Structures are given as C-alpha cells and as structure tokens.
Amino acid sequence: MPKGLLEGKTGVILGVANARSIAWACAKAFQEHGATLIFNYLPEPLEKRVRKLLASDMPDALAYQCDVSKDEEITSFFENVRKHTDKIDFVIHSLAYAERDDLNNPFIQTPRKNFALALDISAYSLVAIAREAEPMMSEGGSIVTMTYLGAERVVPNYNVMGVAKAALESSARYLAHELGPKGVRVNCISAGPLKTLAASAISGMRSINKLIEEGAPLRRNIDTSDVGKTALYLVSDLASGVTGQTIYVDAGYSAMGVPVLPE
C-alpha cells in the first residue's frame, strides 16, 4: 500500500480506552500514513491509560477530556482542538455505552432511563460531534462511526445496543445527506466481534466468535487492524465518492443467510 495517504491531514479520534480499542487500531493506521491526531479521554482512571499509550506510541499527539454525554465537554473539546488547528479532515467516532445489566437481562425489561442513556451516548453523540466538527472541515472531510450487525438483525443479548446502533446507522445517513453538499462524507463500519473492553460486557461472545471462525466466508474472526485499514480508506481520498454507507468488515459473515452447519 502506498504510504502517506493522510500526509498533511488532521483528525480527531474519539474512543480509545486501551491498546485493544478499535479506535486505537484506526489511529495506528492513520499515523503510519502521516496524519496528525487529536484524541479524547474520559476522566481518571481512563485518562491515565490513554496518556500512557500516547506517550509510548504517539508522543506528539494531543488529548483532551470529552465525555460525549455532556454538551459542555463536547464544546470545550473542540475549543481545545481549535487552539491547535482551524481545520480538521476527519473524525473517528468509536464509542458506545449501555448498562451491563441491559446486555444480560431480557430486552423487554430495559428501563426507560437506560434505554435513553444507551441511545444518547451511542447514537446522539454522533450528531453532536458532527455539528462541532463540520464547521472545521472547510476543505471537506470524513466522519466514520462503528456499528454492528445487531443493528439490523437480532443478536441475542445485544439488546438495547442493537437499537442504539440502528439509530446510529440512520443518523449517519441523515448526516451524509445534510453534510454532503459541503463535501463532508459520513459512513459506518460494521465490524465483526472483537475482544475489546466494550465487547466484554456482552454475554455469549465466545460462541459467536466460534460460529464466525467456522462459518464466515473467510473462516476467521477479524482483528482491529482489519477495521483500521477500512477506516484508513474511508478517511482518505480513496473513498472520495463514498458516503451514507455501512461497510462490513466482518470476514463476510453478514453475507450468509444461514450459518455453515456441521456435516
């Protein structure tokens, strides 16, 4: 692959918790291609982890606090970004949240408050972030968010997160429509299951991983670098004509109508 696809470009990466985060794999791919990166973190103990990771691998990167459930933190995050640059080229929105109980109990029992919380952090935040980012994308830009098959089909235990991801995917399409005339593209990556902190809250992931290994067209699970490479494509000029799409990075699992059955 040619190096330097993102030379001279600056991007915001939201959602690094640790080295296993999908957002981190995106950041690594972008760093290799010459991008300047600005990260967010949540308050301690998460801040320390992110700062440690950056100090060892990306010492020049900047990082500021941004809890996306708080409008004032989104505003102050972008104020901090503007202290360093007037223009950004891309945003990776790679974050989600639901109460752990709601990923174990029956979906029908989801309390109103928890339903609202999951949709607020996991879906509405894309809209709020896009609103702040778009004015800084004076030369066009690319916004990428992370979703999962549980948005469109039932994945047992994914529950309210599936509903939040459906709202996220739809929000991405509406944003693509509104921001397209300004040259800003908005796309989703639908990633196969990955062993990250967020995924550890969902029961039954181990059996899903086995099903994919045995039954996805590529006969393997993906790793976060598979997602990082697709994100690189989407934020680069290679994807200049792509917006409003959900791209599957799932070893082809979503193409199957039924799982491969044992002989």
Ligand X SMILES: NC(=O)c1ccc[n+]([C@@H]2O[C@H](COP(=O)([O-])OP(=O)(O)OC[C@H]3O[C@@H](n4cnc5c(N)ncnc54)[C@H](O)[C@@H]3O)[C@@H](O)[C@H]2O)c1
Give catalytic residue positions. Answer: 148, 158
**Among the residue ranges 13-21, 111-119, 135-143, 173-181, the one whose residues contact ligand X (CB under 6 A):** 13-21
Convert 222-254 into a string of H (helix), E (strand) and C (coil): CCHHHHHHHHHHHHCHHHCCCCCCEEEECCCHH
Is the distance from CB of 148 to CB of 191 less than 8 angstroms? Answer: yes
What minimum distance in Å lies between the beta carbon of 143 and ligand X?
14
Kindly tell me which of 50 and 88 has the beta carbon lying closer to ligand X. Answer: 50
Give, as ranges, the residues between 92 and 151 that touch ligand X (CB under 6 A).
94-97, 121, 146-148
For 147, the enclosing helix (H) or strand (E) is: strand 141-147
The residue within the footprint of ligand X, chosen from 19, 128, 199, 218 (CB under 6 A), is 199
Neighbours of 253 (CB within 10 A): 21
What minimum distance in Å lies between the beta carbon of 191 and ligand X?
4
Q: How far is CA 141 from the centre of its chain?
A: 16
Is the distance from CB of 198 to CB of 103 less than 8 angstroms? Answer: no
User: What is the DSSP code (8-state) at residue 66?
Assistant: -
**Among the residue ranges 29-37, 171-179, 195-203, 255-263, the one whose residues contact ligand X (CB under 6 A):** 195-203
Is the distance from CB of 208 to CB of 145 less than 8 angstroms? Answer: no
What minimum distance in Å lies between the beta carbon of 194 and ligand X?
4
Residue written as token pair 């109508």: 257
The residue within the footprint of ligand X, chosen from 196, 230, 236, 246 (CB under 6 A), is 196
**Contact flag: residue 53 with ligand X (CB under 6 A):** no
The residue within the footprint of ligand X, chosen from 22, 117, 160, 251 (CB under 6 A), is 22
By the criterion CB under 6 A, which residues form the site for ligand X? 15-17, 21-23, 42, 46, 67-69, 94-97, 121, 146-148, 191, 193-194, 196-199
